[in-house]
Amino acid sequence: MKANPGAPISILARKRWVHLSTVSRVIKKDLGYKSYALRIRHLLTDSQKARRVAKGKKLLVSLKTKCTGHLRFFSDEKVFSEDRSSNRWNDRWICRDPKDVPLVFRIQSLASIMVLGVICSNGSVMPPHFFGPKEKVNSEAYLNVLKTVVVPWMNSVASGTPYTFQQDSAPAHKTKLVQSWLKKNVFQLHLAPNSPDLNPCFYYL
């Protein structure tokens, strides 16, 4: 175990000519170990780490100085496709005959659509905005949605209350065209790069 903690339990059992359950029982009861999935993390460059620190400090200052009566809006996009989500390891089917297992079909040229969601710190949720099936979400398309959908909705919810708009650093979000318009019309803070845990949309929507 110490030489190769990543060795599959099935291989350990096969090498020792014992049943799989025997090795599992020894690992769990005798050694007190558990089998954990590998942890996935973003590989950050030095510049990304520096930007995370800088934006994190700005966020802390904003939270300290703009608390009572200040609203925060968070946005995020997600692509939805026709394919059914499945995991070959987690999605199981108990039966006697393998032929009874339902099939999960894959589509070669599947249709997909981009959806934009915005939520507010007071609990308000903007009706989802659906981009066109083949619409390319570039800076022009994104800016048009900001002008005609997102900002009017935020102004309606805020009703004159000061607010901050927070979005991630997607390519369409950080172009000069979009940033120039936002600086003139909306106070915004960018989320730290590769930090989905800072966006409530990941948990609320």
Give ∠ CA 121-126-131 in degrees, rounded to 5: 135
Q: Give the pLDDT confidence score for residue 193 in this predicted structure.
A: 61
Q: What is the pLDDT of residue 68?
A: 65
Confidence of residue 9 (pLDDT cuts 50, 70, 90): confident
Model confidence at 187, pLDDT cuts 50, 70, 90, reads confident
Q: What is the predicted pLDDT for the residue at 98?
A: 82
Round to whole Å and give the CA distance between 169 and 48: 12
Q: Which fold has domain 49-84+110-203?
A: Nucleotidyltransferase; domain 5 (3.30.420)
Q: How confident is the model at residue 159 (pLDDT cuts 50, 70, 90)?
A: very high
pLDDT of residue 120: 92
Task: Indicate the pTM of the whole model.
Answer: 0.64
Average pLDDT of 147-151?
Answer: 95
Q: pLDDT tens, 77-131?
A: 988 876 666 676 667 777 788 888 887 777 666 678 899 999 998 899 999 999 9
| pLDDT (tens digit per residue) in 13-53 | 888 899 988 988 888 888 888 877 777 777 788 888 888 88
Region label for 160, one of left (φ > 0), alpha (ψ between -120 and 50) or beta (otherwise)? left
Distance CA 158, CA 154 (A): 6
The whole-number average pLDDT for the span 68-81 is 85
Q: Chain-wide mean pLDDT for the chain?
A: 83
